[in-house]
Amino acid sequence: MSHDKRTTDRQTPEGGTRVRDRIFKTARELFYRQGIRAVGVDDITSGAGTNKMSFYRSFSSKDELVAQCLRAQEGEYWTWWDEVIAPHAGNPRAQIEAIFDASARKARDVERCGCAISNAAVELRDDAHPGHAVIHEHKMEKRRRLRELAAAAGARDADALGDALMLLLEGSAATRLTFSDCETAPLCNALAGARALLDAQLAPPRAARRG
Amino acid sequence: MSHDKRTTDRQTPEGGTRVRDRIFKTARELFYRQGIRAVGVDDITSGAGTNKMSFYRSFSSKDELVAQCLRAQEGEYWTWWDEVIAPHAGNPRAQIEAIFDASARKARDVERCGCAISNAAVELRDDAHPGHAVIHEHKMEKRRRLRELAAAAGARDADALGDALMLLLEGSAATRLTFSDCETAPLCNALAGARALLDAQLAPPRAARRG
């Protein structure tokens, strides 16, 4: 974020792309760490070593930038999800457990502030905000995937199991900001909770197993 | 919020109390519906039919007002909790289920926006904010109470059960803003999830029951 970079912002089309990327990266970081409403355009341009003119050449508004940040987050989240479940293809129960295990490991990063998209839902209450649709679609898709995995695992009530698993994951993210020590936080018990829910819905009755 | 009220604000000590109460009530409502950072002192004084001078006579700062709103919320929450569990004294499992049932019923109110205190955790990232301690203490106390109920119910691992129940409740609140139709939202399956967790930890082994 040096002055050298600032002076080259407008010299080439590549410079325009680079400054846009820098604004985008800085904004995502600041929104996630400090909150969307706590961060103004000035904070972003200052952090990115650029100015308001470059900002508005790249993004029509802060709201539009917020929406694009959420879309990027959404894309990265599903990439992460697919990578986590890939090693357990064909074993949906193991895929669900892998999601919980990987979520807990991700949360241990001291810099984590929960789920960027859930946090945005708290800050962006106006339905007309361009980020709103991204939030809604993301959570609908998360629910759909969990219910689908629950069904593939043979749950007796896949929708109920998928939803309960979703609540455990969303609760883990929501408590991350308050319980900052992840070695002792409630989310440490999310995987155990998920396993108990899976056992309840997937295990054959014990009498049958014993027989 | 009429002009009549405004003109009497400063005439008597009772007027001072009344205007303070009006500011407080307006602020809580606006913070909850629109978010803490979305609402400024001007919005509050305008909504309360008063002015900045009266505001700062009642509260040293917006941050201090926010902290007082959170403390009021905290107090009301435990009053609600105690009322919900009181009819089931001596039956901790029924008390836990009553909390889930009452939470789901409360969430059905179309005006609900999830948990005011969890939402505040997203918006108030600065540890120095006077609301921070209220948030932390509230969530610690919720966790303590759930673990205590789980222990009283005879859970094999009361801390793990209490935490998993907490994640279901926190997840229900966190998804409330995104899934606004509570007849079909994931939180509809929170009670079923809680019951499955309770069964897993409290039921005697089936073989023993069958024998």
Residue B90 is encoded by which pair of tokens? Answer: 């001596």
Would you place residue A108 in the very low, low, confident or very high pLDDT band (cuts 50, 70, 90)?
A: confident
| Among the partner residues A122, A135, A188, nearest to B122 by beta-carbon distance | A122
| Among the partner residues B38, B174, B199, nearest to A170 by beta-carbon distance | B174
pLDDT (average), residues B198-210: 68
**Predicted local confidence at residue B14, as pLDDT:** 66
Q: Percentage of chain A surpassing pLDDT 70? A: 89
User: Are residues B163 and B68 part of one domain?
Assistant: yes
User: Are residues B183 and B99 part of one domain?
Assistant: yes
Alpha-carbon radius of gyration of chain A: 21
pTM of the model: 0.91
pLDDT (average), residues B72-81: 98
CA distance A59 to chain B (A): 22
Domain that holds residue B41: 12-59
User: Are residues A195 and A133 part of one domain?
Assistant: yes
**Predicted local confidence at residue A182, as pLDDT:** 76
Would you place residue B183 in the very low, low, confident or very high pLDDT band (cuts 50, 70, 90)?
A: confident
Decide if A141 touches B, using CB distance below 8 A. Answer: no
Asked if the model's pLDDT at residue B170 lies above 90, the reply is yes
User: Are residues B54 and B65 part of one domain?
Assistant: no
Neighbours of B91 (CB within 10 A): 14
| Rounded CA separation A164/B185 (Å) | 11
pLDDT (average), residues A117-143: 96
A37 assigned to some structural domain? yes
Taking alpha carbons only, the member of A175, A150, A196, A164 closest to residue B168 is A164
* Chain B partners within 8 Å of A170 (Cβ): 170-171, 174-175, 186
User: Are residues B26 and B49 part of one domain?
Assistant: yes
Return the number of CB contacts < 8 Å for A and B: 163
Asked if the model's pLDDT at residue A83 lies above 60, the reply is yes
Asked if the model's pLDDT at residue A106 lies above 50, the reply is yes
For residue B204, the SS3 value is coil
Would you place residue B156 in the very low, low, confident or very high pLDDT band (cuts 50, 70, 90)?
A: very high
Report how far apart, in Å, the C-alpha atoms of A142 and of each of A145, A201, B28 are.
5, 20, 32
Would you place residue A98 in the very low, low, confident or very high pLDDT band (cuts 50, 70, 90)?
A: very high
Neighbours of A73 (CB within 10 A): 19
- Which H/E stretch holds residue A7? helix A3-8
What single DSSP character describes residue B12?
S
Asked if the model's pLDDT at residue B130 lies above 90, the reply is yes
Angle, CA B140 vertex, CA B134 and CA B145 arms, to 5°: 125
Q: Which residue has the tokens 């400090």?
A: A34
Would you place residue A111 in the very low, low, confident or very high pLDDT band (cuts 50, 70, 90)?
A: confident
For residue A98, the SS3 value is helix
Q: Which residue has the tokens 């995937």?
A: A145
Q: Residues B30-69: pLDDT tens digits? A: 999 999 999 999 999 999 999 999 999 999 999 999 999 9
Residue A18, judged by CB atoms within 10 A of its CB (0-12, 13-18, 19+), counts as middle
* Chain B partners within 8 Å of A119 (Cβ): 122
Dihedral sign from CA coordinates of B85, B88, B89, B95 = negative
Report how far apart, in Å, the C-alpha atoms of B133 and of each of B37, B74, B117 are.
18, 12, 11
Q: What value does the mean pLDDT of chain B take?
A: 91
User: Are residues B107 and B66 part of one domain?
Assistant: yes
Which amino acid makes up residue B31?
Answer: F
pLDDT (average), residues A47-63: 97
**Predicted local confidence at residue A110, as pLDDT:** 77
**Predicted local confidence at residue A100, as pLDDT:** 98
CB B197 within 8 Å of CB B160: no
pLDDT (average), residues B107-121: 92
**Predicted local confidence at residue B108, as pLDDT:** 86
Of A1-15, A90-104, A139-153, B89-103, which range is least confident?
A1-15
User: Are residues B139 and B86 part of one domain?
Assistant: yes
Neighbours of A155 (CB within 10 A): 23
**Predicted local confidence at residue A99, as pLDDT:** 98
| Rounded CA separation A207/A17 (Å) | 65
User: Are residues A107 and A41 part of one domain?
Assistant: no
Asked if the model's pLDDT at residue B210 lies above 70, the reply is no
A1 assigned to some structural domain? no
Best residue in A122, A177, A179 to probe B by mutation, most B CBs within 10 Å?
A: A122
**Predicted local confidence at residue B73, as pLDDT:** 97
* Residue B110, φ and ψ in degrees, nearest 5: -60, -20
pLDDT (average), residues A195-206: 83
Asked if the model's pLDDT at residue A138 lies above 80, the reply is yes
Q: Name the CA dihedral angle for A172, A121, A139, A176, rounded to a multiple of 10 degrees.
A: -10
User: Are residues B30 and B69 part of one domain?
Assistant: no
**Predicted local confidence at residue B145, as pLDDT:** 98
CB A182 within 8 Å of CB A153: no
Residue B141, judged by CB atoms within 10 A of its CB (0-12, 13-18, 19+), counts as middle
User: Are residues A49 and A131 part of one domain?
Assistant: no
- Asked whether the beta carbons of residue B170 and residue A170 sit closer than 8 angstroms, the reply is yes
| Rounded CA separation A197/A131 (Å) | 33
| Rounded CA separation A200/A189 (Å) | 17
* Residue B186, φ and ψ in degrees, nearest 5: -55, -35
**Predicted local confidence at residue B11, as pLDDT:** 55
What single DSSP character describes residue A183?
T
Angle, CA B116 vertex, CA B36 and CA A127 arms, to 5°: 65
The number of distinct structural domains making up chain B is 2
User: Are residues A137 and A39 part of one domain?
Assistant: no
User: Are residues B167 and B118 part of one domain?
Assistant: yes
Q: Percentage of chain B surpassing pLDDT 90? A: 82
Decide if A209 touches B, using CB distance below 8 A. Answer: no
Neighbours of B118 (CB within 10 A): 23
Asked if the model's pLDDT at residue A207 lies above 70, the reply is no
Q: Percentage of chain A surpassing pLDDT 90? A: 82
Would you place residue A184 in the very low, low, confident or very high pLDDT band (cuts 50, 70, 90)?
A: confident
| Among the partner residues B113, B171, B201, nearest to A166 by beta-carbon distance | B171
